[in-house]
Structure 1
Amino acid sequence: MRRIYKLLALLAVMTLFAAACTSDSDTDTADEPAAAAAADTTEAASDATEVTLTQSDCDKTYHVITHGDSGTFWSVVEVAVADAAEAVGCDVVYFGANNDAQAQSQAIEGAIADGSDGIAISLADPAGLEAAARAVVAAGIPLYTLNSGVNNYKDLGAVTHIGQTEIVAGNGAGERFNALGATHVLCARQEQANIGLEERCQGLAETFDGQVTSEFVGLDANPDEQEQTIASILTADSSIDAVLGVGPNLPLRALDAAESAGRTLHIGGFDLSSDLISAIEAGDIAFTVDQQQYLQGYIPVILMHLQATNQNTAGGGLPILTGPGFVTPDNAAEVAALVSEGTR
């Protein structure tokens, strides 16, 4: 999905940046179009689309080009991009490629041709995006990576990466399953070629004391397929007593699959949705790993603007980490209201 945010107010950028980076409970309210994009959905958009909002006279244009699908996770990133656009008062073009590396590469190439002042990209498929990413740097345009890309951003010449270290996040999940007493975890993935999701399962295996089985179980756009695939795996292997869904929808599919298979499981997840938080509050799901995707959309825009207008860079050659944090029954109620507002 492609959106261009041009907004009038040039706000106190550094104040907003500091607030976004130091608090887990920011309650920035998006405008109505952005809030609508953040509605709690569990199904991905089927195709990339374009929307243009034009109101500002700023002479800078920044691009945020991801593999996102405008579903539960990425709608929050879009809200953050819109909020950051308001903060800097400049054009920000958002494009979500719906897990299509070719479409994402073409959008990056288009941003270069448009003379972008800064390009931030996710690297779910590093091999598929390498040529386009290197073309950004060759064109003299500052490159940032977000969400996926912590292992590749330096080699590609990006200024910094904004996201979490996926292996470390998986490590934390493994430790929590150990505490729950699990012995065999199914690590369920919703994308086949996303290195970040594979690293979450790898990190789980590094710290979990029992057995880990990693499987692609279907796309988020096909929740029935996900549930049926997980149920089939559970039926085929009675030793599986836990499921880690490496996204916000799969834990819910695992919960339904466990019921249909007549099984009781320890279930953990990644990222946030109102349904997932409700299940955690009810005690049906043990935890979710929170990478705070709002920051992944907000911070790159602020950093690109500061570099373009004040020659500031951040990170010092290291990634800027937005996680992992954990949402459990102990703090789920505090996070729930923010999820409903579209900022968590």
Structure 2
Amino acid sequence: MTARTRTFRIAALGAAVVLAATACSGGGREKTEESDTGGGNAAGSSGYTIAFITHETPGDTFWDKVKNGANQAAKDTGVTLKYSNDPEAPKQAVLIQNAVDSKVSGIATTLVTPDALAGAVKAATDAKIPVVGFNSGINDYQRLGALMYFGSDETLAGTEAGKKLAEQGAKHPLCVIQQTGSVALEARCAGVKSSVPGTENIQVNGADDAAVTSTLQAKLAQDKSIDSIVTLGAPQALDAIKARQQAGSQAKLVTFDLNEQAATEIKSGNILFSIDQQPYVQGYMAVTSLYLNLKNGNDIGGGKAVLTGPSFVDSANIDKILPFTKNNTR
């Protein structure tokens, strides 16, 4: 992707946010469901109900920011938002089908396992329910029939992260995948490997922090050639800090995504940088774009994915970003 293309997509995102403002004023745990009922406009005042469906593993702080963005958009537009999640692909497909059966106005969903969700998404499009993809599935959303997409180019993000590691002298990064079958996570590691060919992947259970720590500790203790660790979520970065200390490893640590604790570790120097995909923006734009499509026929992005990342957070800008992580919007 050229710099010009990235600039165009970032500009498209900025324009989309302005337009929205003008128009309005990982596995196996039990799924949850939520409904937003308050805000600047009364919930439901627009007449639209949007199902917002993710592969969230309960307890992963990343999704709090996604939901905060979606809830704010629902308040701004008067949409009734129905949130549900399940980290298991077949169960997420059932949630999408349930939304179709309940005749919602629109569906915003992650597409982390696109082939497993294809049938349910087709059921939505066959029922003339507009679908927007976000967070995962940038290479598959059009094939599945989603109208728009909001998220990071994960291959690009991984490639850029790898370049920064290479500048630090990295030869043998360990890329930590916390959810089996996630195309987005695999793309991140593939991107890192394209910049640092010695990259090695390791699979961990992202739903169990203690297991993540012990798995990484054992690997770092066994292989002293590992000179850097790339975690693909902020909670796993915190696990890696413990594992690195227990193993007596000097490996540098970088992570994808942010939470307040990870931001604090960037401030202290324990994490070199974060590759932030700006999840609050993903949630906000997914809901707002459906509202605008339903109300006004808008197609934000003009048939192209709207990029929300990669946005790098490091020692140069952490002082600006840290307060927003405390608000759980960054």
Structure 2 residue corresponding to 1:88, chosen from 71, 77, 86: 77
1:319 alignment counterpart: 305
Could you tell me which amino acid in structure 2 is paired with residue 214 of structure 1? N
Aligned-residue offset at 1:46 = 3.6
TM-score of the superposed pair, with normalisation by structure 2:
0.88
| 2:108 corresponds to | 120
Aligned mate of 2:211, from 202, 225, 244: 225
Work out whether 1:199 is the aligned partner of 2:187.
yes
Match of 1:307 in 2: 293
Correspondent of 1:251 among 224, 227, 237:
237
The residue that corresponds to 2:199 in the other structure is 212
Q: Which residue of 2 aligns with 1:184?
A: 172
1:226 Cα shift?
A: 0.4
**SS in structure 2 opposite 1:224?**
helix
CA distance in 2, matches of 1:57, 1:342: 25
Question: Match for 1:291: what amino acid?
Answer: Q
Is 1:77–2:60 an aligned residue pair? no
**Identical amino acids, percent of aligned pairs:** 33
Where does residue 148 of structure 1 map in the other structure?
136
Alpha-carbon displacement from aligned partner over 1:184-220 (angstroms, at most 9, x marks no partner): 0000111111110000000001112x5110111221x
Q: 1:114 to 1:204 in 2, by over 3 A?
A: same
Report the count of equivalent residues: 307
Mark the CA change 1:159 to 1:188 in structure 2 (over 3 Å): closer, same or farther: same
> Alpha carbons of 1:271 and 1:310: their partners in 2 closer, same or farther (altered >3 Å)?
same
| TM-score, with length taken from structure 1 | 0.85
Code of the residue aligned with 1:315 in structure 2: it is G
Gap change, CA 1:146 and 1:320, over 3 Å in 2: same
Per the alignment, do residues 115 and 171 of structure 1 end up closer, same or farther by CA in structure 2, a change over 3 Å counting? same
Is 2:154 aligned against 1:166? yes
**CA drift at 1:51:** 3.5
Q: Secondary structure at the match of 2:270?
A: coil
Deviations 1:120-155 (A, max 9, x none): 110111121111111111111111100001010111
Question: Which one of 22, 30, 42 corresponds to residue 47 of structure 1?
Answer: 30
State the one-letter code of the partner of 2:54: T
Inter-partner Cα distance in structure 2 for 1:49 and 1:289: 28
Distance 1:261 1:311 in 2: 56
Counterpart mapping for 1:323-342 below 5 A: 323-342=309-328
Are 1:62 and 1:91, in contact at CA under 8 Å, matched by a contact in 2?
yes
Q: 2:48 aligns with which of 56, 60, 73?
A: 60
Decide whether the 8 Å contact of 2:34 with 2:82 is kept in 1.
no
The CA distance in 1 between the partners of 2:265 and 2:27, in whole Å, is 21
CA 1:203–1:313: 2 relative to 1, 3 Å: same
Superposed CA deviations along residues 64-95 of structure 1, whole A, max 9, x for unmatched, are 11111352100111111110001101211111
**CA RMSD across the alignment:** 2.0
Which residue of 83, 86, 100 corresponds with 2:88? 100
2:280–2:329 Cα contact (<8 Å) kept: yes
**How far, CA to CA, are the matches of 1:317 and 1:267 in structure 2?**
36
Q: Secondary structure at the match of 1:249?
A: helix
**Structure 2: gaps (5+ residues):** 1-13
Matched, 1:282 2:265: no
Q: Which residue of 1 aligns with 2:11?
A: none
